[in-house]
Amino acid sequence: MKKKIALFLTGALFCGAECLAQKALKDIPLKDAFAKDFNVGVAVAQSIISRNETESIKLICEQFNAVSPESVLKPEYIHPTPDRWNFQPGDAYCKFAADHGLKALGHTLMWHNQTPDFFWLNADGSVKSQEQIKANLVEYIEKTVTHFAGKVYAWDVVNEVVSEEGGYRNDKGWEKYYKDLDELVCLAFSTAQRCDPNAELYYNEYNMWRQSKVDGVVHIVKMLKEKGIRIDGVGIQAHWGLNYPSVKDIETTIDRLYDLGVKVMITELDIDMLPFSKEGQMTGKAMYDPALQREEFMRYLNPYAQGVPEEVEQQIADRYEEIMRTIYNKRDKISRVTFWGLHDGVSWKNDYPIPNRTNYPLLFDRKLQKKKAYYQVVNIPSKKK
Ligand code: G3I
């Protein structure tokens, strides 16, 4: 009996201490917690603006001072067919940002994804000439950057052209159909610079913990600078996991990029906590095979469809604290941290790299409530460690 009482008291003490510890964490909006260090942004899904989702808008204004367009400033929205230009969704995004005093990023001008095939292919499927492909890029950037000049403060001019080994990828879109990527990257930046001399110009990339990939980005920055073409910053996307990358790799990349004399930004932060993808960023659609969505696989691949247990919630919170503390410790080198989505329910990670899963990659839950991870993150500046 005495043993049971002792166990109960220990449990109560632990819970009490845990509750007190949680209580001791202050609730400070993200943008205020890091006001002295860097801007804090969020990727905004088109539906939040088009449906005027007031609760989401209220949370965005309370927590963030910058926004990124999740999709509406991509070529498949702005120039969906050879004869159509559609700036309306992008204008709505820019108006939303201006109306709420938020810095509006432009994302992204040159990317192999969410860009219609006619930029590279003729109607019969044959590849357009190098001259035509180049002309299509220049025309797209001229029209788009000119239209949004003064409405967006910066552009992700080029997104994800570097391979994991550090050369240029050659598997999709611009990189697949154009021979000289050095030339095309320089053209993209010089065209953007010409059409909006006041906008900051960035290169943006994922898996920027892999130093061979960082080598390729270093090449791009040095090449542009040597040619006198402006590049103002590099985005580390930070689609990371519960178990990768290491703090050391994150620190090394931030230092290497900062030493190039450009702004360094965390541009698409989310943390995948589900099996298979929490160990590393899967790319491609291999896991979309219907066989893998059968119940015997989804029991393993999608274990938290009904909610996430306390201990896993704590793992997510601790990992977010570890990553954000690493970034905070490098705050003199970081100009912005953007989370790639407002809350768990709108995250692309629910459907990538495996469709129809319930993921928990952000700081706010599906009811827009602050998670443990939020409290541990916003208390980093005041917690000495
Ligand atoms: O617009 C169509 C809609 O008409 C259709 O009914 C629906 C169902 O198929 O699809 C809609 O398009 C989706 C699009 O997002 C707009 O919501 C695409 O299927 C979907 O694949 C696309 O996903 C986006 C993904 O980029 C595309 O690669 C994600 O929302 C977006 O978060 C993600 O963001 C990228 C960054 O731009 C660059 N860095 C990587 C990051 C993740 O891929």
Across the chain, how many H-helices and E-strands are there?
14, 9
The residue whose C-alpha atom lies closest to atom 36 belonging to ligand 1 is 70
What is the pLDDT averaged over residues 154-165? 98
Is 62 designated active site?
no
What is the pLDDT averaged over residues 243-263? 98
Q: Which residues, judged by CB distance below 6 Å to any ligand atom, belong to the binding site of ligand 1?
A: 70-71, 113-114, 159, 206, 237, 268, 348
What is the pLDDT averaged over residues 230-254? 98
Q: Looking at residue 281, what DSSP letter applies?
A: -
The residue whose C-alpha atom lies closest to atom 37 belonging to ligand 1 is 70
Spatial CB neighbours of 22, under 8 Å, sequence gap ≥ 6: 372, 375
Residue 81 backbone phi and psi in degrees, to 5: -140, 160
The residue whose C-alpha atom lies closest to atom 29 belonging to ligand 1 is 348
Model confidence at 6, pLDDT cuts 50, 70, 90, reads: low
Positions of E strands within 291-364 = 334-339
Model confidence at 336, pLDDT cuts 50, 70, 90, reads: very high
| pLDDT tens track for 96-150 | 999 999 999 999 999 999 999 999 999 999 999 999 999 999 999 999 999 999 9
Token pair listed for 47: 């539906």
| pLDDT tens track for 9-44 | 555 555 555 555 555 789 999 999 999 999 999 999
Please identify which residue in the block is written with the tokens 């129809």. Answer: 356
For residue 265, pLDDT beyond 90: yes
> Is 200 in contact with 194 (CB distance < 8 Å)?
no
Q: Rounded CA gap, 38 and 332, in Å?
A: 9
Which atom of ligand 1 lies nearest, measured to the CA of 43?
32
Q: Rounded CA gap, 8 and 210, in Å?
A: 48
Which of 348, 350, 352, 362 maximizes ligand 1 atoms within 8 Å of its Cβ, making it the mutation to test the pocket? 348
Catalytic residue among 205, 268, 313, 321: 268
DSSP-assigned letters across all residues of 64-115: -SEEEESSTTSHHHHSSBTTB---HHHHHHHHHHHHTT-EEEEEEEE-SSSS
What pTM, to 2 d.p., does this model score?
A: 0.94
Q: How far is the CA of 351 from the centre of ligand 1 (A)?
A: 10
Angstrom distances, CA of residue 59 to CA of 152, 339, 364, 369, 384 = 21, 13, 10, 10, 28
Please identify which residue in the block is written with the tokens 């009482």. Answer: 5
Q: Which of 37, 96, 93 is nearest to 70 (CA)?
A: 93
Token pair listed for 28: 């400070």
Q: Which runs of consecutive H residues, i.e. helices, occur in 227-309?
A: 247-258, 295-301
Model confidence at 347, pLDDT cuts 50, 70, 90, reads: very high
Q: 275: exposed, middle or buried (C-beta count within 10 Å: 0-12, 13-18, 19+)?
A: middle
Model confidence at 282, pLDDT cuts 50, 70, 90, reads: confident
Any bridge partners for residue 320, and if so which? none
Q: Rounded CA gap, 65 and 32, in Å?
A: 9
* Amino acid type, 342: L
For residue 64, pLDDT beyond 80: yes
What pLDDT is recorded for position 13? 58
Buried (b) or exposed (e) across 207-216, using 16+ Cβ within 10 A? bbbbeebbeb
Which of 46, 114, 204 maximizes ligand 1 atoms within 8 Å of its Cβ, making it the mutation to test the pocket? 114
Is 165 designated active site?
no
Token pair listed for 121: 């292919």
| pLDDT tens track for 182-240 | 999 999 999 999 999 999 999 999 999 999 999 999 999 999 999 999 999 999 999 99
Q: Rounded CA gap, 317 and 368, in Å?
A: 16
Q: Which of 49, 72, 51, 74 is nearest to 61 (CA)?
A: 49
The residue whose C-alpha atom lies closest to atom 16 belonging to ligand 1 is 71
What is the pLDDT averaged over residues 298-308? 96
Please identify which residue in the block is written with the tokens 């994991």. Answer: 164
What pLDDT is recorded for position 15? 52
Model confidence at 281, pLDDT cuts 50, 70, 90, reads: confident
Percentage of the residues of the chain whose pLDDT score is greater than 70: 94
What pLDDT is recorded for position 135? 98
What is the pLDDT averaged over residues 60-84? 98
Better-predicted residue by pLDDT, 284 or 381: 381
Catalytic residue among 160, 175, 205, 321: 160
> Is 168 in contact with 161 (CB distance < 8 Å)?
yes
* Amino acid type, 86: N
